[in-house]
Amino acid sequence: MIATLRGEIAQVEENALVLEVGGVGLRVFVPNPLRTRMKAGDALQLYTHLVVREDALTLYGFESQAERELFNTLLGVDGVGPKAALSVLSTLTLDAVQRAVFADETEILNRVPGIGKKTAQKMAIHLKDKLKPTDALAAVGAMTDRDSEVLAALTALGYSVVEAQAAIQALPRDAPEDTEERLRMALQYFQ
């Protein structure tokens, strides 16, 4: 129905943006990384998904068509509604979701707030059939065991999965193989 919106941000709310389009302010629920980057007055184009319920019409917006497609695919998983699907996109990047699915690392999906172990397993099974590995995923490659350990340690320390992955990706190519040393270097990323 409503495929895209282009307008100016009138207001940034706790979990949504109010986008003024043609003099009408539309509340659009967006992933947290996008919401935190935006401020009132910014121009923005969103790819949207309209959820029609008996008591509400709710718009969800995304920066790319790929994010919107992943959102729609997640809605096809038994037990995953719009809020849970948005939580996945708020916590993980598209590459992280693909890596979790294709490397059989459901524990990454399980770290998303509101996603339990069984739901993470259902998501991985459902997405494996629906997602296609991208060139970006091939370039990044599956996360090594030592980097998975660093990721687990960083998330245990309270960093989000996205923050932890950014720190790991910032490690130099010649970084030592030792997990503890890699963790120490990853922690320096946050200083």
Q: Is 90 helix (H, G, I), strand (E, B) or coil?
A: helix
Least confident of 83-97, 104-118, 142-156, 170-184: 142-156
Is residue 187 exposed (0-12), middle (13-18) or buried (19+ Cβ within 10 Å)? middle
For residue 144, is pLDDT > 70?
no
121-133: average pLDDT: 81
Alpha-carbon 46 to chain mean position: 16
Q: Please report, for the domain that includes residue 107, its CATH number.
A: 1.10.150.20
- 57-67 burial, b at 16+ Cβ within 10 Å, e below that, comes to eebbbbbeeeb
Q: What pLDDT is stored for residue 189 in this prediction?
A: 84
Q: Please report, for the domain that includes residue 159, its CATH number.
A: 1.10.8
Quote the CA–CA distance of 189 and 176 in Å, as a whole number: 16
Structure tokens at 151: 């990721």
Q: Say yes or no: 127 and 179 in one domain.
A: no
Quote the CA–CA distance of 10 and 189 in Å, as a whole number: 34
Q: What pLDDT is stored for residue 190 in this prediction?
A: 83
Greatest mean pLDDT range, 96-110, 143-157, 177-191: 177-191
Quote the CA–CA distance of 185 and 177 in Å, as a whole number: 12
Q: Please report, for the domain that includes residue 16, its CATH number.
A: 2.40.50.140
Q: Say yes or no: 56 and 27 in one domain.
A: yes
Is residue 145 exposed (0-12), middle (13-18) or buried (19+ Cβ within 10 Å)? exposed
Domain carrying residue 112? 67-137
Quote the CA–CA distance of 13 and 39 in Å, as a whole number: 10
State the CB neighbour count (10 A cutoff) for residue 34: 18
For residue 55, is pLDDT > 90?
yes
Q: Say yes or no: 14 and 34 in one domain.
A: yes
Q: Report how far apart, in Å, the C-alpha atoms of 9 and of each of 33, 38, 64, 94 are.
A: 15, 8, 17, 24
Cross-strand pairs, 28 = 17, 59
Question: What does DSSP assign to residue 132?
Answer: -
Q: How confident is the model at residue 68 (pLDDT cuts 50, 70, 90)?
A: very high
What pTM was computed for the model?
0.69
Based on the structure, what is the number of domains in the chain? 3
Question: Could you tell me which residue, 177 or 63, shows the higher pLDDT?
Answer: 63
CB-CB contact of 71 with 62 (8 Å): yes
Residue the block writes with tokens 């709310």: 13
Q: What pLDDT is stored for residue 145 in this prediction?
A: 64
For residue 104, is pLDDT > 80?
no
